[in-house]
Chains A and B, each alone.
Chain A
Amino acid sequence: MNILVCVKRVPDTGAKMILTADNQAVDSKNLGFTVSPHEECAEEEAVRQVEEHGGSSWILTLGPEEAGEQLQEGLALGMDEAVLLNNNGEEWDPRSTSLAITEAVQKIAEEGTSFDVLLFGNEAADSGDFQVGVRVANALDLPVVTGVKDLSFTGDTAVAKRESSDGWEVYQVPLPAVFTVKEGINIPRYPSLRGRMQARRQEIKRITPKKQPGGLKKIRLRIPEEEDGGAEVLGEGPEVSSKVVDLFQDIGVV
């Protein structure tokens, strides 16, 4: 079983974000980079499934030269091959991104590796477009299930589960297929030191992508206005419980 995982390099934010002067990007001067939690889980899922079923796991990204760092992290987890589609750090729209990935998958197939499973994060952490996985699936004429939090394979069939309000929805699809996964499908491992050392020596394949934009264009970014006011301090320690329950009664929850 050959599995491809597609990831996106994004700034590792946690505190309030700051924008670049032209309002086109998050100012990442003082930030590290990562992939989204969904994508970390997609990488882990690929490694586990290949451990169970055999085959190879691949990691691919469309991003700047520096995204090689994120590919190496995948290799350090135990993934086998890495592919960089260099977009020179320019942010591509979902249509361009999907077409670049589709063409890369076709090229890799021509070179002898066809994928049984393509994994994406449910959405990219930064742009949150919620569509690249589905666009790639339809371009390759493959079935796709989004929001997957449980995945298993028997022969040429996949069973994918997605959370619903009171349990799980179950989808059964033939392989090859595309799945967009969510955090929670597994708990990702940390790469071993040995894995990290090996990853550094591993070669990254390169495919030159073609930009084919669609009709969605970013104009500018802005930070949402925050409600001011600040918090009302009810007090310190357990003595404050009576005030807290007064508040509950005011809100009408007791």
Chain B
Amino acid sequence: MIIAIIEHDRGTLHNASLEMLTVARALAADRDTSLAALLIGESGREIVKTLGAYGVPVAYLAVDDSLEDYAPRAWAESALAVMDQENVEVVLAAGTDRGHEVLAHVASLADLPLAANCLEVKLDDERCRVTRQRWGGSLLEEAELRGETYLLSIAPHLIPAEETPLDGEVEIREFQPSFSDRAFRVQVTGREQDEKAGISLTDARVVIGGGRGVGGAEGFTALEELADLLDGAVGGSRVATNNGWRPHKDQIGQTGNRIAPDLYIACGISGAIQHMVGCQGAKNILAINTDPQAPIMEKADYVVVGDLHEVVPAIVDEVKQRKR
């Protein structure tokens, strides 16, 4: 059996899980074995129907009053409960903060190998071979796993989610895991909402990024204006966040956000590999830079050679005119 841990936050599905299901379905078909999803908490029930649209025939649903909010080790122990009952070849999760956290708990509690951020998976009777990301995706590693069960996270934004509707309904197998006294030692105990909840970088269709060339916090005003006109979000390179020009939450790159917009406009960003892995999911990249030799000018799809402080306001004016 292949188990896919479905990530959700109090009933709201994380899209990276649907991408992961593309790999999970292929593995189950390849190994001629069954595929089941694992949903944790009563609120996961809301997602069952969606899973049907993505070809998942069986959903294990772990229920317990304590599972109302996310608790990483309790999620891991729920997965271990299914692994105890069934002959599980592979457990998959999305390569997200929570996905990695839960799988790392499963790995350490059951002493199993875990390969993070896989792109390709091949399984035979002896071993599991994967291609996985290193350096945030700047480098790939071919690796081999051996063990009773293989734990894999799937790198987000690279494999498309594909609807493959089931004939019929998803079978729900509800169960109540018996938790250890460690299971809820770490659990979300509160939440704080951001005051201005604009379009998030990871969801935006248009992202405008600023780097060293922006020159300071005030330089971002023009970028903000363009973002407003395009219903986009503004982010920055590591230079911009380390200098305090933008909050770290806005960083695009290996140690910040991974974005996947239709259009990414990189302004005054040189294009270090750590930045480029953060925007490799973008469909189109437009780079605006004074230096035609900057690395980003090769990696972008479209380039404008020029000073962003002149080019961006000119673009703003042009967009305003056409919108009129």
Chain A residues in the interface with B (C-beta under 8 A):
13-17, 26, 36-38, 93-95, 98, 123, 125-131, 133-135, 137-139, 141, 143-147, 149, 161-174, 182-184, 187, 214-224, 226, 229-242, 244-245, 247-249, 251-254
Contact between A134 and B104, CB atoms less than 8 A apart? yes
Point out the residue from A139, A166, A235 that lies within 8 Å of B193, measured CB to CB: A166
Q: Which 7 A-B pairs have the closest CB atoms?
A: A184-B248, A215-B113, A238-B314, A134-B104, A170-B190, A130-B100, A131-B104
Contact between B306 and A224, CB atoms less than 8 A apart? no
9 contacts between A and B (CB under 8 A): A134-B101, A134-B104, A134-B107, A135-B104, A166-B193, A216-B113, A240-B306, A247-B302, A251-B262
Contact between B134 and A130, CB atoms less than 8 A apart? no
Point out the residue from B139, B286, B298 that lies within 8 Å of A224, measured CB to CB: B139
Residues of B within 8 A of A182 (CB): 255
Give A219's nearest chain B residue, CB to CB: B142
Residues of B within 8 A of A162 (CB): 97
Point out the residue from A38, A128, A139 that lies within 8 Å of B108, measured CB to CB: A139
Point out the residue from B108, B143, B254 that lies within 8 Å of A135, measured CB to CB: B108
Report the minimal beta-carbon distance from B141 to chain A, rounded to whole angstroms. 5
Q: Does B26 contact A (CB under 8 A)?
A: no
Chain B residues in the interface with A (C-beta under 8 A):
9, 70, 72, 97, 100-101, 103-105, 107-109, 111-117, 129, 133-147, 153, 182, 185-194, 197, 200, 202-203, 205-206, 229-230, 232, 238, 241-242, 244, 247-249, 251, 254-256, 262-263, 272-274, 283-284, 286-287, 295, 297-307, 310-311, 313-315, 317-319, 322-323
- What would 19 more interface pairs be, CB under 8 Å, given A125-B135, A238-B313? A37-B238, A37-B255, A93-B113, A95-B113, A137-B108, A144-B186, A169-B188, A170-B188, A183-B256, A184-B247, A216-B113, A229-B301, A232-B301, A235-B305, A241-B311, A248-B263, A253-B206, A253-B230, A254-B319
Contact between B135 and A233, CB atoms less than 8 A apart? no
